[in-house]
Structure 1
């Protein structure tokens, strides 16, 4: 079979796989399946997108929405009423604790900025809900440890939004190339992001708009003077609320590599970087960074630049396996296997079918290439609840990937010294200064969660 025919055959195989694992998901939401009462906390871009995918694949009624921005909340309520079967507008809340107490949802989706993830997820499982939490799960490492402890203590399923683990064509690459040994021994992996996604603006301080409770939006994070809407990309420009490009984009690629190769914690983490080029912006996250995650006889090396050109135009955000028999490049858009020598190349990519879910085609800001992955990931979440199993992106897996990226940032902050994390003692081995940075102070009156007090 020549390379062209093989490519067409694999596209057909991918289509068959997608038909079962993604496009066939409507059939999986059987009339006899449990009916779930759902709430979304954080109704911005990806939170609402996740909720609309869940409506497509499970028997749910969205009973409540929560957001500190009344305009964003109202808009989300209207969109949900147009999409769910009952056509009802969910109850709208500004305070998530009130939502949990009054509506008692079965499932909670957490779509807030990162600095709110831990408190909301922990309170949600305490209230009796299973949780789908967007990545990264936390801003500091001890928050993540507390989240894992809470999920286990209250016996709830917590799925993290690292949906590469449910992306049909990437599952195909894992099963048909990596697991079948086409790469041979894998001894090096590169992960990267070269998107120009670091906000470079310098807006002045402004009056807080009436529709936004900025005090509550800030929550446990340090308080910054209001200088414009924090939504979408502005809040990600600051270490007060997240972990920069490392926490936003590396967590996806590192998690995908760990999933593909069944990796646990890195043995050692080292990182260097800083603001090398875009010095005029208010943003305080790095514009250039390299991190090395060491595993047995293999390094996983991350690079990001928010300036300049990518090293490979076809794979600007990707993970690349180097084996002694070949190379596998993977991204959210495609994968390519290139063997050593004269073997056949293999290509795969997502298939978009507007006939099965026509509503996708007109949805505002949808990542259409990732819609099938998100549907499959949310269905896996529901299946784990129904089967009393761990989901594919269980909270522990999300914690390992998140914490590894946070520790890389700590290494960078400490001048690039290597750090070894011990999850049993929850310390950086032999490094008191680094250990102190695993747990950042909360703004009063918020109390930092600990594994011992959830």
Structure 2
């Protein structure tokens, strides 16, 4: 992705950009409907639940399928959109979106106990550029080579980006550019063992090393890392706002200076989830 930014975006090969697609078509939403059971003896379910609502325990909740429930996360938008939105913002130098809207719901898999959407779009309006997210946990991906991706459309060409590879297609002929994720087993053979023991994803191992070096350099230099916490906040808050726009059924305009939704006290209230007693929200 660094190579794509340097060789395509920064080199001006895209031309004018006014539209970006970000998407995930993985069938990653839980489709089971297990009964409520007692939690395993090794799990303090009340403590595990923390300030979230105390749902009846079922086999999906722990350890990984908690993603099926909005009480514990932010659905596929918060799980997968946040990565691609963040990537596109970095590629194009975008800050906060001005307006955010969203539509969708549980439109196909109505039998599952999961309460996250199986179909959702969200539009992040940056005034002169729209970034439009789509996820669908059913059916086929429009481009099987890029099922989880960001696609930047320019007047001179299209850039497709994923965690595995990138592809630039010039609009009026010319040379296509491609690149693959950097896998460094020759330099770091222990990556193979880590992939087996710790489920390290080999295609992001080099990026992890790069971020570690960048962070340590930032400590030494007293500078900001390339992925500063403010940038993570912008991307994650934008995804939360997209979910809230879906819940309320209207477009939201967020003011980052006041951390409020402009002219919408109801939407502003949704920015802070209610905490289950005895937990107290830090902002309280």
TM-score norm. by structure 1 comes to 0.60
Q: Is the 8 A contact 1:199 1:233 kept in 2?
A: no
The answer to whether structure 1 residue 254 and structure 2 residue 88 are counterparts is: no
**1:383 match: secondary structure:** helix
Q: Is the 8 A contact 2:34 2:60 kept in 1?
A: no
The answer to whether structure 1 residue 400 and structure 2 residue 234 are counterparts is: yes
**1:264 aligns to what?**
95
Q: How much has 1:198 moved relative to structure 2?
A: 0.5
**1:307 aligns to what?**
138
Distance, in Å, in 2 between the alignment partners of 1:384 and 1:444 is 39
Q: Which stretches of structure 1, 4 residues or longer, exceed 6 Å deviation after superposition?
A: none
Counterpart selection for 2:12 from 181, 200, 217: 181
**1:437 aligns to what?**
270
User: Aligned pairs, how many?
Assistant: 281
**1:204 aligns to what?**
35
Residue deviations 1:123-155 (CA, integer Å, cap 9, x gap): xxxxxxxxxxxxxxxxxxxxxxxxxxxxxxxxx
Distance, in Å, in 2 between the alignment partners of 1:280 and 1:384 is 49
Once the two structures are superposed, the pairs formed by residues 10-409 of structure 1 within 5 Å of their partners are 170-228=1-59, 230-362=61-193, 363-364=196-197, 365-409=199-243
Distance, in Å, in 2 between the alignment partners of 1:389 and 1:211 is 43
Distance, in Å, in 2 between the alignment partners of 1:264 and 1:351 is 28
**2:53 match: secondary structure:** coil
RMSD: 1.3
Residue deviations 1:252-301 (CA, integer Å, cap 9, x gap): 00001111111111010010010000100010000000011011311000
Distance, in Å, in 2 between the alignment partners of 1:293 and 1:229 is 32
Q: How much has 1:350 moved relative to structure 2?
A: 1.3
TM-score norm. by structure 2 comes to 0.95
Q: Is the 8 A contact 2:184 2:206 kept in 1?
A: no
Indicate the structure with greater helix content: 1
* Bigger Cα displacement from structure 2, 298-307 vs 420-429: 420-429
The answer to whether structure 1 residue 423 and structure 2 residue 256 are counterparts is: yes
For structure 2, which runs of at least 5 residues remain unmatched after alignment? none
Q: Are the structure 2 counterparts of residues 379 and 230 from structure 1 closer, same or farther at C-alpha, using a change threshold of 3 Å?
A: farther
For structure 1, which runs of at least 5 residues remain unmatched after alignment? 1-169
Q: Is the 8 A contact 2:31 2:112 kept in 1?
A: yes
